[in-house]
Amino acid sequence: MVYRIIFIASTVAFFLLFIVSCEEGPVETTKEAQTSTISGYVRDSLNQPIFGAIVVDNGQHGLTDTTDVSGAYKFEYKLQSEYKTKITVYAIGYYRDTAEVTLPVGGTVTKNFQLRRDWSQQAIIGSGKSAANIKLISVSDRDIAIRGTGLKDYSVLQFQITDSSGNPLVGANKAIVRFSLLSGPQGGEYISPDSVETDINGMVTTTVWSGSKAGIVQVNATTLRGLVKAMPVTITITGGYPDGEHFSCNTRPI
């Protein structure tokens, strides 16, 4: 009887030990980072886009972006957990604005800003210093097609003019920038406008249009008296593809 009890107890203990050993312990898993975005537009009180506004993520990621001609900005993250931050927008001639944003993992948040004009003396008059630098901000296309192919045959260039302290030339201190083509295939390509006054952000914009010949075009930007020059910008005009509205062919017997 005693042996039977001992046998049963041993058997039960064995099975309990077996069950415990077979139990799965907690498995630590690492969440895969997912792409998450914050984007939006920066506009003024008239709902017009503000180009060149600086948008800053004040959180741990610390991203920075500059609005394009439509006033758009975008931040892209790789997140494993919810991200809370503050977004601040700065623009010359406007009061800055800040907003709190909570971005879920794999989510998209749209946050638009509407800035109020700053009519203070600095915004209206400017720094009082002369132009010291012409900086290329953006080029829409480095390669464009010759005219008549049906492909894009122009490129938009944007520059910012600043003084020796890095302040944009605005208000009464604004500058006039002249544009010209230093070289090209001589196929009728041109630049327009060829003279632009800086806007409220110290920006100027011009457009290069292709002609009927392929080749390399160099764009020159200088201040009115030619004292300050930008580095020449190179645009390539390519042959492109035939456009059905401008291309025809006939067959003839051989």
Domains in the chain with CATH codes: 34-118 (2.60.40.1120), 126-238 (2.60.40.10)
Average pLDDT over residues 164-181: 84
209 burial (CB, 10 Å; 0-12 / 13-18 / 19+) is middle
Residues 89, 77: Cα–Cα separation, whole Å:
19
Average pLDDT over residues 133-149: 92
The answer for residues whose C-beta is within 8 angstroms of residue 66's C-beta and 6 or more apart is 52, 53, 54, 55, 73, 137
Residues 177, 227: Cα–Cα separation, whole Å:
11
* pLDDT value of residue 137: 87
User: Are 191 and 208 in contact, with CB atoms under 8 Å apart?
Assistant: yes
Residues 198, 219: Cα–Cα separation, whole Å:
18
Average pLDDT over residues 144-153: 93
Percentage with pLDDT > 70 across the chain? 78
Residues 48, 69: Cα–Cα separation, whole Å:
10
* pLDDT value of residue 246: 47
Residues 93, 105: Cα–Cα separation, whole Å:
36
* pLDDT value of residue 105: 93
Task: State the Cα angle at 51 between 93 and 231, rounded to 5°.
Answer: 105
pLDDT over threshold 70, residue 81: yes
* pLDDT value of residue 239: 85
* pLDDT value of residue 209: 96
Average pLDDT over residues 114-118: 87
Residues 95, 243: Cα–Cα separation, whole Å:
48
Backbone angles phi, psi at 150, to 5 degrees: 90, -10
pLDDT over threshold 60, residue 28: no
3-state SS assignment for residue 78: strand
* pLDDT value of residue 63: 87
Q: Strands 133-139, 54-57: parallel, antiparallel or unpaired by DSSP?
A: unpaired
Helix (H) or strand (E) holding 13: helix 2-22
* pLDDT value of residue 121: 47
pLDDT over threshold 50, residue 136: yes
